[in-house]
Amino acid sequence: MYETTVEYFSNAKGGKWPKRLVAEFGEYLKSNGGFEFTKGSDEDSLFRSKLRNVGVTSGIDIRCAQESLEAFRYFYLFVETHDSLRPWDFMLAGSGCLTEESPLCWIGSVQEKRIHVDERALGGMDLVSPDFLTSPAIIVVSKRCKNLLQRLGVTGCRFEACDAKTNAPISIDASPNSPGSAINGEDAAFYQLNITEVVAKPPCFGKVLSLEFRCPKCGAAGGCRATNMVGEFDLADLSEADFQTYHGFCDDEGRLYHHKVERIIVSSRVLQALVHEGMKGLIEWGSDPMFYHAVSIRE
C-alpha cells in the first residue's frame, strides 16, 4: 500500500494562513505550518479552490508501506541520530565552512580520523548518524548490518572499521575498492558506511522562490521555498548503485543550488532487506501503517 500526499505552505510572511482557511481545514494543518492532503482527494481539490489571492508552495510526497516497497526503485534513507557521535571529534577543524561555534554548513569539510564509537551507548543500534547532519553524509552501521549488506553485494559504498577506543587516523584513500568491501580488513563492532556513488544531477524543485539559512561563507542553503518542495529526479541522472548521495537541488531552468547537508538514497532491494531483517535505526514515519519515503522519478 502506498499513497501520494501533497503539502501546501504559505508564502506570506511568517508562513501565516488566512483565518478562513485555518477555520475550515484546521484538521489538516500540520505542526510544520503546512496543510497536508491525499493528492487528488476531494479535500485537496476543495482546498485548492479556496486559495484566492493566497501565494503557496507545495511538495508531493510518496509514502510507501513495508509490503509495497518493491513498487518503487529508490527510497530516501533516514536513520536515527545519536549525540555520542560528534562530528568535531573526527572532522578536520577549520576545513570547509565548518567551525564548532557555527556547525551549520559542512560543505568542503574533511574527515581526518576514524569514528570513535561508544559501543555501550549504541548497543542494539544497526544504523545511526551523528547528531548533526553533515556533508559528506555519515552513517555508522553495526557488524550485523555490514555483514548483511556484504552478502547482498551492495554497490555504491565501502566500509571503514570504527575505533572503539580513540579517534585513530582513517585509512580511506583514493585507491579503488571492490563494492561493499571493508577497506582496512579489521573486525569491529561498528563500521562507517562511506557512500562512493554521487548522482549525476540532484532533484528538480521547480521554480525556486527563495533560499533560506544560507551559509555566509559558501552560500549553500539550509532550506528553500519552491514550487515543488520535495523534488523529482530524472531517471537518467540516477545510476544502478544501491547507495547514492546528493547535496543540492536544481530549478526548472537547470540552475544548481548547493545544500548544507548531503542526502542519501537507497535501492528498494536493500531497503527491503534491512526492513525484513529488523535492522534497528531506520526511521519510519506515520502510525498505522508505518511508511517510508519513495524517490519521485521522471521517466
Q: Which helix (H) or strand (E) holds 292?
A: strand 291-294
Please give the tally of structural domains in the chain.
1
pLDDT digits 0-9 by tens, 250-270: 888 888 888 877 889 999 999
Specify burial of residue 275 (Cβ count, 10 A radius: 0-12, 13-18, 19+): middle
Is residue 11 one of the residues assigned to a domain? yes
List, in sequence order, every beta strand (DSSP E) within 78-222.
81-82, 127-130, 139-142, 157-161, 190-195, 208-212
Pick 49 or 104 by higher pLDDT.
Answer: 49
Is residue 25 one of the residues assigned to a domain? yes
Is residue 7 one of the residues assigned to a domain? yes
Task: Please give the pLDDT value at position 146.
Answer: 94
Pick 44 or 209 by higher pLDDT.
Answer: 44
Question: Which pLDDT band, with edges at 50, 70 and 90, does 183 fall under?
Answer: very low
Residues 6+ apart with CB under 8 A from 225: 9, 11, 57, 208, 209, 210, 212
Task: Please give the pLDDT value at position 176.
Answer: 35
Q: Residues 208-213: what's their mean pLDDT?
A: 79
Which pTM value belongs to this model? 0.80
Look at residues 290, 68, 74 and name the one whose alpha carbon lies nearest to residue 203: 74
Asked if 247 and 258 touch (Cβ cutoff 8 Å), the reply is yes
* 28-42, 114-128, 188-202, 282-296: range with highest mean pLDDT: 188-202
Question: Which pLDDT band, with edges at 50, 70 and 90, does 222 fall under?
Answer: confident
Task: Please give the pLDDT value at position 2.
Answer: 61
Q: Residues 160-179: what's their mean pLDDT?
A: 53
The set of cell numbers assigned to 194 is: 562511506
Residue with cell 539550509: 222
Pick 176 or 276 by higher pLDDT.
Answer: 276
Range of the domain at 8: 2-54
Looking at the DSSP assignment, which residues form a beta bridge with residue 183? none
Is residue 31 one of the residues assigned to a domain? yes
Residue 276, pLDDT > 50, answer: yes
pLDDT digits 0-9 by tens, 124-168: 899 998 877 677 788 999 999 999 999 999 999 999 888 765 545
Task: Please give the pLDDT value at position 12.
Answer: 67
Q: How far apart are CA 268 and CA 20, in angstroms?
A: 42
pLDDT digits 0-9 by tens, 50-109: 887 677 776 667 777 777 788 889 999 989 888 888 777 777 766 677 665 555 677 777
Looking at the DSSP assignment, which residues form a beta bridge with residue 204? 232, 250
